[in-house]
């Protein structure tokens, strides 16, 4: 059975159907228009805009630097450290919420999916360092999103040379061993960025480069640094490895080393055929099937080659391929996609979401930091990062902190002013994503989140989704009729069995819940 | 007397508490309203179509045992005899002290005006909206609030999206929910199994989730489900002992198409626990002024089906409990279970209107006029002060 184009356009290539959406895409052409519009649209994060966020971040960083100095002199100020940490955590929470809102309310679903693809392709983790909490949203908004529809090489430069990426992959710790700084301090090379550049960002693992190439890429990158106080990305000759450096048979720095070398390297890597194949295959895997059909990949690689890596042409080639529109249900939605498409299906009014966001803000203003959001430390331990089957999937009892706002005395509680619903706001948005193993902007590794059904379709994942659906339906879907909800949510993707079972459900909440946890809602 | 200080509760539906979603998978909300005076009225909606013939078994009817070879009990096999004709299901035995104290009554063969289609959604809509028209979108208990003569000023409006239909509407209602959760009901688990039957990966994952987490996971802790409902009842009891006079909550799990014996025993035990917990937490004084009305959208087929269960029917049973109930008796005109006595040859014939029962209880508790009850609360209802439900 082949589903209708509008259904496939919304479910496979977007964040699902939203009732009454007049902008719902009906064709490949509509989806391509979304790419064009999306790249020009302003994202909902960071909340203060690019300049505003830089200012805030710089202010907080300098406050903390000043404190660090007085601390060294024996006068630490723990209150200030705590307060500034809270402020950064708050920004991350708000931005995380805004990222979900962005996906829910955008009319450019295909563009939003692409943004999720690329932020994952160029993974950074918002909890890596203090500053990262504030700048990862900036990274997505200024480096990724504006470059999604252009030449791949532009996106590569913007992403790899952004402060967020440089912090995340430890570029400041990488010093040319033979450079002035290296010789003076005995510090050395950190291969992290060089390795991920080849393995993840461009050519892909197993594409033929060697360990020598990894080292070469890392050496060529030496000298590139990011200032921890000003967030300025610069080139410091004293840290750059001198001499002729080679990568994949090409020599860089022939006429003396300069900041032109790593720029040229990125240009060259963007042009490699391995890069085209790696990225195209990953796109097909992301959108269409865990085992990407080769003919779609080939068509996209051809478009890449013909257009010199123009991503719009590559997406167009994917959508133009007939096989991109059949074989539905092979992909299992990642948690972010599940939650976003669920909120879209429930047609949550923007005003209601704004009220939830406000409840979170108000709570931020008075409630102390919860233990689960306590400082991670400035260097994350790999093993503790969340993942699809990570420790986060456990089901802790309502923690002691869970009793915020609960009252042991009824009278006191009953006379309280109308309480906001921050707990609910969290639980249906980023809190749910943490529980499902996909916290916003916190991938488990530089390779990003897993993207195949095997990684996600587990008993605990299913339980989390059922719990989320019941909560969301109770809180947001009370007036919906299950049969009508099924048809606006899944259209012709609803199987006859599901239609029948949902209509027979013993109560409405369960009927609506079953729509959201049905196989066809969780697949695409 | 003051039982409130030993439990915690959170306001307005959701997770005041929690970042932890699955720690609280289902907040079945309890809705409340204030009213002047001391009389209390609590409704419990039994969602999924409670089998009245199983809860209150007409063992004295000659046709009964033949219709239900697997399900029918007698006083010799565990049924608690009530009046020589009807017996109470053993799982609800803890209600017997209330029966003996004349604080418990049953109404047999009642139903809403809903007929023939037997859809849970429509049936529950009519049960809660009280209108023969299923498009009525506010609840009869909310409409009743407007008719109760008020002396005190109204409470602040506190609209919560999770309110159930029966108390939804223009009049002020608060929603609270207990800290603990109510797990998926057995019938809900069965429906999910059916939903996943056609998808092997889902089916396997769900089966494993249910199997491994049955005892510990709040979502599937079917065996412990009662404690979540009891917490809800305790919360309701405590609040009704104080500021509130009217409350409502639901108990799911009654859609017993298969293996009814085990499933019904569990959920009937939960209902009994909810009622006894309400009484306990309310305290003797408040309980003495209380009427609890437990009701369902429709009954189930008079005959067992081939899977040891029963299917959607028509006439059912309502339960009345509380110190203000004229208890120790079974109301309702018994239509009989003979072939020609069944509705459409399959269901218990309804001989009473659930709306009349509800109207009678509101009239009894709050003195709401017959005129208001038959025009504003249940428009078009035939009801007067001589109603059978009001005769002492």
* Interface probe with A: pick from B19, B137, B263, most Cβ of A within 10 Å: B19
Q: Does the pLDDT of residue B157 top 80, yes or no? A: no
* Interface probe with A: pick from B2, B9, B18, B217, most Cβ of A within 10 Å: B18
**Which residues, in sequence order, are CB contacts of A454 under 8 Å at separation 6+?**
A290
- Distance between CA atoms of B158 and B24, rounded to whole angstroms? 22
Contacts across the A-B interface (CB distance below 8 Å):
216
Residue-level pLDDT at B37: 82
Structure tokens at B1: 């007397």
SS3 state of residue A122: coil
From the list A364, A405, A425, A383, the residue with the least C-alpha distance to A89 is A364
Residue of B nearest to A352 (CA): B161
SS3 state of residue A224: strand
Residue of B nearest to A348 (CA): B161
Using alpha carbons, list the distances in angstroms from residue A155 to A11, A159, A225, A227.
26, 6, 19, 22
Residues of B in contact with A466 (CB under 8 A): 25, 184, 192, 219
- Distance between CA atoms of B246 and B163, rounded to whole angstroms? 14
Residues of A in contact with B18 (CB under 8 A): 398-399, 402, 423, 427
- Distance between CA atoms of B248 and B164, rounded to whole angstroms? 8
The proportion of chain B whose per-residue pLDDT surpasses 70, expressed as a percent, equals 82
Judge: A506–B48 Cβ closer than 8 Å, yes or no: yes
Judge: A497–B197 Cβ closer than 8 Å, yes or no: yes
Residue-level pLDDT at B177: 63
* Distance, C-alpha A115 to centroid of its chain: 8
* Interface probe with B: pick from A346, A418, A470, most Cβ of B within 10 Å: A470
Per-window interface: A 366-425 vs B, CB < 8 A: 370, 372, 395-399, 402-411, 413-414, 416, 418-419, 421, 423-424
How far apart are the CA of A422 and the nearest CA of chain B, in angstroms? 7
Contact of B335 with B353, CB cutoff 8 Å: no
Interface confidence: ipTM more than 0.90 = no
Closest CB to A398 among B4, B18, B48: B18
How far apart are the CA of B335 and the nearest CA of chain A, in angstroms? 27
The predicted model gives B157-167 an average pLDDT of 56
Residue of B nearest to A469 (CA): B25
From the list A426, A417, A415, A413, the residue with the least C-alpha distance to A471 is A426
Closest CB to A423 among B18, B164, B243: B18
Residue-level pLDDT at B84: 96
Long-range pairs of A210-215 with CB within 8 A, sequence gap ≥ 24: A213/A247, A213/A248, A215/A189, A215/A191
**Which residues, in sequence order, are CB contacts of A160 under 8 Å at separation 6+?**
A122, A193, A197, A201, A266
Closest CB to A402 among B20, B164, B184: B20
> Interior CA angle at B125 toward B119 and B126, to 5°?
95
- Distance between CA atoms of A508 and B25, rounded to whole angstroms? 16
Residues of A in contact with B201 (CB under 8 A): 453, 457
Judge: B21–A431 Cβ closer than 8 Å, yes or no: yes
Closest CB to B120 among A463, A479, A505: A505
How far apart are the CA of A471 and the nearest CA of chain B, in angstroms? 6
Cis omega (within 30 of 0) on the bond before A46? yes
Taking only the tens of pLDDT, chain A with its 524 residues reads 689 999 999 999 999 999 988 889 999 999 999 999 999 999 999 989 999 999 999 999 999 999 999 999 999 999 999 999 999 999 999 999 999 999 999 999 999 999 999 999 999 999 999 999 999 999 999 999 999 999 999 999 999 999 999 999 999 999 999 999 999 988 899 999 999 999 999 999 999 999 999 999 999 999 999 999 999 999 999 999 999 999 999 999 988 999 999 999 999 999 999 999 999 999 999 999 999 999 999 999 999 999 999 999 999 999 999 999 999 999 999 999 999 999 999 999 888 888 888 877 777 665 444 434 434 333 333 333 333 333 333 333 333 233 223 333 333 222 222 333 677 888 899 999 999 999 999 999 999 999 999 999 998 899 999 989 998 998 888 679 999 999 999 999 999 999 999 999 999 999 999 999 999 999 99
* Interface probe with B: pick from A290, A333, A398, A514, most Cβ of B within 10 Å: A398
Which structural domains are found in chain B, ordered by start? 4-181+229-390 (3.40.720)
Structure tokens at A208: 């033929």
- Distance between CA atoms of A171 and A189, rounded to whole angstroms? 9
Lowest mean pLDDT among A104-108, A486-490, B18-22, B99-103: B18-22
Residue A51: CB atoms within 10 A of its CB come to 8
Contact of A382 with A445, CB cutoff 8 Å: yes
Residue-level pLDDT at A358: 83
Residue-level pLDDT at B48: 96
How far apart are the CA of B263 and the nearest CA of chain A, in angstroms? 14
Lowest mean pLDDT among A319-323, B20-24, B101-105, B379-383: B20-24
| DSSP-assigned beta bridge partners for residue A483 | none
How far apart are the CA of B115 and the nearest CA of chain A, in angstroms? 16
SS3 state of residue A143: helix
**Which residues, in sequence order, are CB contacts of A350 under 8 Å at separation 6+?**
A101, A105
Any idea which residue has 């916190």 for tokens? A442
- Distance between CA atoms of B83 and A103, rounded to whole angstroms? 63
Residue-level pLDDT at A99: 97
Using alpha carbons, list the distances in angstroms from residue A124 to A85, A153, A440, B309.
19, 19, 11, 55
3-state secondary structure string, chain B? CCCHHHCCEEECCCCCCCCCCCCCCCCCCEEEECCCCCCEEEEEEEECCCCHHHHEECCCCCCHHHHCCCCCCCHHHCCEECCCCCEECHHHHHHHHHHHCCCEEEEEEEECCCCCCCCHHHHHHHHHHCCCCCCCCCCHHHHHHHHCCCCCCCCCCCCCCCCCHHHCCCCCCEEEEECCCCCCCHHHHHHHHHHHCCCHHHHHHHHHHHHHHCCCCCCCCHHHHHHHHHHHHHHHHHHHHCCCCEEEEEEECCCCCCCHHHHHHHHHHHHHHHHHHHHHHHCHHHHCCEEEEEEECCCEECCCCCCCCCCECCCEEEEEECCCCCCCEEECCCCCCCHHHCECCCECCCCEEHHHHHHHHHHHHHCCCHHHHHHHHCCCCCCCCCCHHHCC
Strands B246-252 and B329-331: unpaired
Residue pLDDT, tens place only, B244-302:
899 998 899 999 999 999 999 999 999 999 999 999 999 999 999 999 999 999 999 99
Q: Does A266 touch chain B (CB under 8 A)?
A: no
């Amino acid at each position: 059975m082949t589903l209708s184009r509008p259904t496939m356009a919304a479910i496979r290539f977007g964040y699902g159907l939203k009732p009454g959406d007049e902008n719902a895409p009906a064709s490949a052409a509509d989806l391509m228009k979304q790419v064009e519009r999306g790249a020009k649209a302003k994202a909902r994060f960071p909340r203060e805009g690019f300049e505003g966020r830089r200012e805030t971040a710089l202010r907080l960083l300098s406050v903390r630097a000043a404190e660090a100095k007085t601390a060294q002199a024996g006068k630490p100020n723990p209150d200030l450290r705590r307060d500034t940490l809270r402020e950064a955590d708050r920004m991350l929470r708000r931005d995380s919420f805004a990222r979900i809102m962005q996906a829910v309310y955008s009319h450019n679903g295909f563009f939003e999916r692409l943004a999720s693809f690329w932020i994952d392709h160029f993974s950074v983790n918002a909890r890596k360092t203090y500053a990262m909490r504030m700048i990862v949203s900036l990274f997505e908004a200024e480096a990724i999103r504006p470059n999604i529809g252009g030449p791949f090489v532009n996106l590569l430069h913007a992403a790899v040379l952004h402060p967020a990426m440089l912090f995340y992959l430890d570029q400041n710790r990488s010093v040319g061993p033979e450079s002035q700084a290296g010789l003076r301090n005995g510090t050395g090379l950190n291969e992290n960025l060089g390795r991920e550049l080849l393995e993840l960002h461009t050519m892909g693992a197993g594409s033929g480069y060697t360990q020598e190439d990894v080292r070469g890429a890392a050496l060529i990158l030496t000298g590139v640094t990011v200032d921890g106080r000003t967030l300025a990305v610069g080139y410091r000759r004293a840290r750059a490895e001198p001499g002729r450096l080679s990568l994949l048979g090409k020599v860089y720095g022939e006429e003396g080393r300069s900041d032109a070398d790593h720029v040229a390297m990125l240009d060259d890597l963007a042009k490699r055929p391995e890069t085209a194949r790696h990225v195209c295959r990953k796109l097909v895997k992301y959108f269409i099937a865990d085992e990407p059909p080769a003919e779609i990949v080939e068509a996209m690689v051809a478009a890449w080659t013909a257009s010199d890596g123009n991503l719009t042409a590559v997406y167009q080639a994917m959508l133009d391929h007939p096989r991109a529109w059949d074989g539905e249900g092979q992909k299992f939605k990642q948690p972010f996609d599940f939650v976003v498409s669920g909120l879209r299906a429930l047609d949550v009014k923007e005003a209601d979401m704004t009220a939830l966001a406000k409840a979170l803000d108000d709570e931020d203003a008075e409630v102390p930091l919860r233990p689960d959001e306590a400082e991670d430390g400035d260097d994350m331990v790999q093993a503790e990062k969340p993942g699809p089957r990570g420790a986060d999937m456990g089901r802790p009892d309502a923690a002691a902190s869970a009793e915020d706002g609960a009252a042991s005395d009824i009278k006191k509680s009953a006379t309280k002013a109308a309480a906001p619903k921050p707990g609910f706001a969290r639980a249906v948005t980023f809190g749910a994503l943490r529980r499902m193993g996909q916290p916003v902007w916190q991938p488990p590794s530089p390779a990003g989140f897993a993207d195949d059904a095997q990684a996600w379709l587990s008993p605990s994942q299913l339980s989390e989704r059922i719990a989320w659906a019941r909560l969301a339906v109770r809180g947001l879907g009370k007036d919906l009729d299950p049969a009508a909800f099924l048809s606006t949510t899944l259209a012709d993707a609803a199987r006859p069995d599901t239609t029948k079972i949902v209509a027979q459900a013993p109560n409405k909440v369960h009927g609506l819940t079953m729509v959201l946890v049905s196989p066809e809602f969780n697949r695409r | 007397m003051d039982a409130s200080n030993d439990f915690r509760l959170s306001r307005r539906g959701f997770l005041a508490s929690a970042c932890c979603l699955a720690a609280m998978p289902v907040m079945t909300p309890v809705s409340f309203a204030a009213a002047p005076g001391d009389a209390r009225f609590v409704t419990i909606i039994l969602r999924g179509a409670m089998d009245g013939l199983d809860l209150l078994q007409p063992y004295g009817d000659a046709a009964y045992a033949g219709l239900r070879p697997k399900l029918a009990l007698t006083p010799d096999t565990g049924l608690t005899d009530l009046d020589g004709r009807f017996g109470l299901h053993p799982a609800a035995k803890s209600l017997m002290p209330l029966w003996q104290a004349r604080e418990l009554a049953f109404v047999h063969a009642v139903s809403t005006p809903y007929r023939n289609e037997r859809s849970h959604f429509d049936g529950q809509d009519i049960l809660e909206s009280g209108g023969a028209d299923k498009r009525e979108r506010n609840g009869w208990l909310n409409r009743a609030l407007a008719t109760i003569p008020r002396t005190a000023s109204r409470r602040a409006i506190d609209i919560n999206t999770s309110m159930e239909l029966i108390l939804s509407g223009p009049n002020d209602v608060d929603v609270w929910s207990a800290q603990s959760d109510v797990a998926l009901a057995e019938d809900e688990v069965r429906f999910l199994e059916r939903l996943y039957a056609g998808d092997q990966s889902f089916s396997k994952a769900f089966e494993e989730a249910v199997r491994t987490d049955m005892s510990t996971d709040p979502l599937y802790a079917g065996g412990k489900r009662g404690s979540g409902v009891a917490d809800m009842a305790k919360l309701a009891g405590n609040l009704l002992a104080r500021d509130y006079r009217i409350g409502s909550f639901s108990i799911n799990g009654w859609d017993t198409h298969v293996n009814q014996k085990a499933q019904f025993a569990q959920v009937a035990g939960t209902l009994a626990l909810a009622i006894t917990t309400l009484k306990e937490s309310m305290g003797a004084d408040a309980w003495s002024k209380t009427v609890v009305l437990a009701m369902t959208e429709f009954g189930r087929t008079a005959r067992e089906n081939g899977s040891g269960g029963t299917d959607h029917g028509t006439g059912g049973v309502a339960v009345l409990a509380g110190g203000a109930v004229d208890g120790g008796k079974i109301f309702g005109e018994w239509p009989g279970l003979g072939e020609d006595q069944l509705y459409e040859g399959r269901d218990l014939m309804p001989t009473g209107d659930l709306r009349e029962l509800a109207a009678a209880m509101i009239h009894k508790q709050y003195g709401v006029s017959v005129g208001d009850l038959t025009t504003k609360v249940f428009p078009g209802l035939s009801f007067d002060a001589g109603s059978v439900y009001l005769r002492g």
